[in-house]
Amino acid sequence: GMEYIDSYVFNKAEYIRFNSTVGRYVGYTEHGLKNAEAWNSDAGILGQEQGELERVCKHNADIDYSAILDKT
Protein backbone atom coordinates (compact mmCIF):
# COMPACT_ATOMS: atom_id res chain seq x y z
CA GLY A 1 0.00 0.00 0.00
CA MET A 2 0.86 3.64 -0.23
CA GLU A 3 1.14 5.99 2.71
CA TYR A 4 1.13 9.79 2.60
CA ILE A 5 2.49 11.65 5.64
CA ASP A 6 2.33 15.44 6.03
CA SER A 7 4.44 16.58 9.00
CA TYR A 8 4.32 20.03 10.57
CA VAL A 9 7.52 21.08 12.31
CA PHE A 10 8.16 24.07 14.56
CA ASN A 11 11.63 24.77 16.02
CA LYS A 12 12.84 21.41 14.61
CA ALA A 13 10.17 19.50 16.57
CA GLU A 14 7.30 17.75 14.83
CA TYR A 15 4.09 18.84 16.51
CA ILE A 16 1.40 17.39 14.26
CA ARG A 17 1.21 14.92 11.38
CA PHE A 18 -1.41 13.81 8.91
CA ASN A 19 -1.15 10.12 8.11
CA SER A 20 -3.21 8.78 5.20
CA THR A 21 -3.26 5.25 6.63
CA VAL A 22 -5.25 6.39 9.68
CA GLY A 23 -6.87 9.20 7.65
CA ARG A 24 -6.51 11.80 10.37
CA TYR A 25 -4.12 14.11 12.18
CA VAL A 26 -2.07 13.02 15.18
CA GLY A 27 -0.67 15.61 17.58
CA TYR A 28 2.64 15.20 19.42
CA THR A 29 2.66 18.32 21.60
CA GLU A 30 -0.03 20.21 23.52
CA HIS A 31 -0.35 22.64 20.60
CA GLY A 32 -0.36 19.75 18.11
CA LEU A 33 -3.06 17.88 20.02
CA LYS A 34 -5.30 20.97 19.98
CA ASN A 35 -4.74 21.42 16.24
CA ALA A 36 -5.34 17.73 15.58
CA GLU A 37 -8.68 17.89 17.39
CA ALA A 38 -9.75 20.94 15.38
CA TRP A 39 -8.45 19.71 12.00
CA ASN A 40 -9.86 16.19 12.43
CA SER A 41 -13.33 17.68 12.88
CA ASP A 42 -12.97 19.70 9.65
CA ALA A 43 -13.97 17.56 6.66
CA GLY A 44 -12.58 20.19 4.27
CA ILE A 45 -9.07 20.00 5.70
CA LEU A 46 -9.12 16.19 5.83
CA GLY A 47 -10.38 16.08 2.25
CA GLN A 48 -7.55 18.32 1.13
CA GLU A 49 -4.95 15.97 2.64
CA GLN A 50 -6.62 12.91 1.11
CA GLY A 51 -6.61 14.77 -2.22
CA GLU A 52 -2.84 15.20 -1.95
CA LEU A 53 -2.47 11.42 -1.64
CA GLU A 54 -4.40 10.99 -4.88
CA ARG A 55 -2.85 13.95 -6.71
CA VAL A 56 0.81 13.58 -5.75
CA CYS A 57 1.53 10.05 -4.58
CA LYS A 58 -0.62 7.94 -6.86
CA HIS A 59 0.16 10.11 -9.90
CA ASN A 60 3.93 9.86 -9.29
CA ALA A 61 3.72 6.17 -8.47
CA ASP A 62 2.07 5.54 -11.84
CA ILE A 63 4.86 7.47 -13.58
CA ASP A 64 7.59 5.60 -11.62
CA TYR A 65 5.93 2.26 -12.26
CA SER A 66 5.67 2.84 -16.00
CA ALA A 67 9.32 4.02 -16.06
CA ILE A 68 10.36 0.77 -14.36
CA LEU A 69 8.34 -1.27 -16.85
CA ASP A 70 9.94 0.63 -19.77
CA LYS A 71 13.42 -0.35 -18.53
CA THR A 72 12.74 -4.09 -18.22
Number of domains present in the structure of the chain: 1
Q: Which residues contact 33 (CB under 8 A, 6 or more apart)?
A: 27
Closest CA to 24 of 53, 1, 55: 53
Confidence of residue 6 (pLDDT cuts 50, 70, 90): very high
Dihedral pair phi/psi, residue 7, rounded to 5°: -100, 140
Residue 15, domain extent: 5-70
Stated pTM of the model: 0.68
Residue 22: CATH number of its domain: 3.10.320.10
Chain segment 12-31, per-residue pLDDT in tens: 999 999 999 999 999 999 99
Query: What string of H, E and C letters represents the secondary structure of 37-54?
Result: HHHHCCHHHHHHHHHHHH
Q: How confident is the model at residue 53, as a pLDDT?
A: 82
